[in-house]
Amino acid sequence: MKKITGAEIVIQTLIEEKVDVIFGYPGGAVLPIYDELFKQKKIRHILVRHEQAAVHAAEGYARSTGRIGVVLVTSGPGATNTVTGLADAMMDSVPLVCISGQVPTHMIGNDAFQEADIVGITRPCTKHNYLVKDVNILPNVIHSAFFIAKNGRPGPVLVDIPKDIQTFKAVYKGKKNTKVISYYKPNLKPNINQIDQFIKLLENSEKPIFYVGGGVINSGEVASKNLFKLIKSTGFPCTQTLMGLGAYPTSDNQCVGMLGMHGTYEANMSMYNCDLMICVGARFDDRITGKVSGFSPKSKKVHFDIDASSFNKSVNVDLTVQGDLARILQAINKKIEEKKISFKKAKIKDWWIQINKWRSKDCLKFKNSDKIIKPQHALKRLDFLTKKYNPFITTEVGQHQMWAAQFLTFNKPKHWMTSGGLGTMGYGLPAAMGVQIAHPNSLVIDVAGEASILMNIQEMSTIKQFRLPVKIFILNNQYMGMVRQWQELLHGNRLSESYMDSLPDFVKLAESFGATGLRTEKPSEIDDLIKEMIKVKGPVICDVIVDPSENCFPMIPSGSTHNQMLLGPNDKVEGEISEDGMVLV
């Protein structure tokens, strides 16, 4: 068989993995791969302006399609710039393959120019990583990387390829004839006995709640469909995590909204008072639980997850079922049908009466104004005016992110891309690029804050180059709003470094990149601005000047429990926030 170079192998294996787009930035140690990229037409390369953005763009691509995002960067700084993105993908379980160039094998360890031990650096923030020292196993490594990224709980995999390996020759026999060199075999099939135990709990519960996370979205559409069927057949309420929004339609009446630190009153009160908590693909993250010792004290807890290490990590549960959520939910639905179990609405009638009482508090209400734009109002109008386009929403991190989660509607999975676990400011703009590449004709909106957007603003140049019609909706309050909110709450209103001085003129900034800039500070103009934003064919930056003092409510102050929520600015924390609470992030 004909021998081809390592660089050719990289391209061939990517083509066999059905990769159609990669996000990257060239440099000395990946030039042979870029040369091969130049010679072919099957893979499109999106040149970003910073390697962190390449990873976020690949995340946006992956999360909006369910496919694997691919990144290509050079050694040293190119590779280290990907670290934040890889850590983000690790926390939010996004399947990625990141290929980095490395100095030639004989130079490794020599402190060569643009050398960094990227395998060492990324070991804790990738699902797995490889340094390839033999060109003959390069095909196996790349196919293994794709296998590992997607199977089990998804995550990022890095493949570090020294420059000499890219030029050495080896035989590539195609994917079918290339062995995956990993023992990794995640179990997907649930244990049926555990499903039976779960059905019993389901039948006996009077105050149940489904607590749904991003795992459902990762598992795929079958999981979402089965979840919908199960929730509908039981008549139980359902709350979603930040990552789970869209796994179950948020406009459905059985959905009680997002839970957690900025979740709805009804969701958190239901979690606190339930007698059966059914966690589907979520991980009892600290933003969700609040103070663990006071977390849902009266409930039996059931946890479905593909990742066994998520069980009993922060909260002890009574029943765990490990496996692919699509299969678990399917098995449950099948059992319910087989046993002809019908869930009597009467049994949980009182529970719904209670939930509706909590709902009637209307915890997301805010005092609107005709003088100054309330950020919540801006998002409500954005939701109303864009709903019919079924938009893809990305966000940065902070108050605007929480408001977007609270006020936008998510009726389909894979339409909501936000940095949940790592909380990476600067995520939204590059992620929106990746989404737009995958869905060129869809409306893609990055809901941003004026602070976050500046963290990857250089990507306007990428947007210009690839004519990506991304819409950037900045809620500009001239503060790092969430930082300020915490300083108000916990640090005596001493606003240390949280004011954004010297902001750019976002309209001119947009124009300098060939985009459209729109700006308003009048509530009466917000609808026109949004309509104009949708109408413009190309990229748009909307600079929406909002009330600088608005805070994000409801809120569970750190160190508190679900039943100790602050519902508005006039709510005071009962007593002092404890020292334990103060040290929490």
Catalytic residues: 51, 113-114, 163, 482
Q: Which residues from 180-239 bind other proteins, rule CB under 8 A?
A: 182-184
> Binding to other proteins by residue 585, rule CB under 8 A?
no
Does residue 120 touch other proteins according to CB under 8 A? yes
Asked if residue 106 binds other proteins (CB under 8 A), the reply is no
Please say whether the beta carbons of 472 and 459 come within 8 A. no
Tell how far CA 292 is from the center of its chain: 24
Residue among 106, 313, 367, 522 that touches other proteins (CB under 8 A): 313
Question: What tokens appear for 405 in the block?
Answer: 């989660």
x/- track of binding to other proteins for residues 282-301 (CB under 8 A) = --------------------
Q: If we measure between CA atoms, which residue out of 90, 71, 60 comes closest to residue 19?
A: 71
What 3-state class would DSSP assign to 42? Answer: coil
Using CB under 8 A as the binding rule, whether residue 316 contacts other proteins is answered as yes
Which of 34, 228, 311, 410 contacts other proteins by CB under 8 A? 311
Beta strands in 83-201 (DSSP E): 96-102, 128-131, 156-162, 169-171
Residues 6+ positions from 45 with CB-CB distance below 8 Å? 21, 22, 23, 24, 37, 72
Torsion angle of C-alpha atoms 184, 187, 188, 194, degrees rounded to 10: -170
- Cβ distance to other proteins smaller for residue 123 or 467: 123
How far apart CA 61 and CA 492 sit, in angstroms, is: 42
| Rounded Cα–Cα distance for residues 283 and 398 (Å) | 21
User: Which structure tokens are listed for 115?
Assistant: 């050398």
Q: Find the part of the chain contacting other proteins (CB under 8 A) among 59-67, 161-169, 308-316, 547-555.
A: 308-316
Residue 302 near residue 279 (C-beta atoms within 8 A): yes
Q: Which one of the spans 237-245, 303-311, 339-347, 458-466 is the region binding other proteins (CB under 8 A)?
A: 303-311
Q: Which of 46, 73, 98, 131 binds other proteins (CB under 8 A)?
A: 131
SS3 track for 119-142 = HHHHHHHCCEEEECCCHHHHHHHH
Minimum CB separation of residue 210 from other proteins in Å reads 24
Which residue in the set 21, 31, 45, 128 belongs to the binding site for other proteins (CB under 8 A)?
128
| Minimum CB distance to other proteins smaller for 180 or for 495 | 180
Angstrom distance (rounded) from CA 56 to CA 46 = 12
Q: Does 442 bind other proteins (CB under 8 A)?
A: no
> What percentage of the chain's residues is helix, strand, coil (to nearest 5)?
40, 15, 40
**From 48-56, 66-74, 126-134, 397-405, span contacting other proteins (CB under 8 A):** 126-134
Closer Cβ to other proteins, 58 or 149, answer by number: 149
Q: Does 342 bind other proteins (CB under 8 A)?
A: no
**Per-residue x/- mask for other proteins, residues 135 to 164, rule CB under 8 A?**
-------------x----------------
Least distance (Å) from other proteins to the CB of residue 307? Answer: 7
Query: Which range touches other proteins (CB under 8 A), out of 28-36, 117-125, 275-283, 420-428?
Result: 117-125
- Contact with other proteins (CB under 8 A) among 253, 293, 309, 342: 309
Count Cβ atoms within 10 A of the Cβ of residue 180 and give its class: 0-12 exposed, 13-18 middle, 19 or more buried: middle
Q: Which of 124, 193, 370, 583 binds other proteins (CB under 8 A)?
A: 124
What residues make contact with other proteins under the rule CB under 8 A?
119-120, 123-124, 127-128, 131, 148, 182-184, 307-309, 311-313, 316
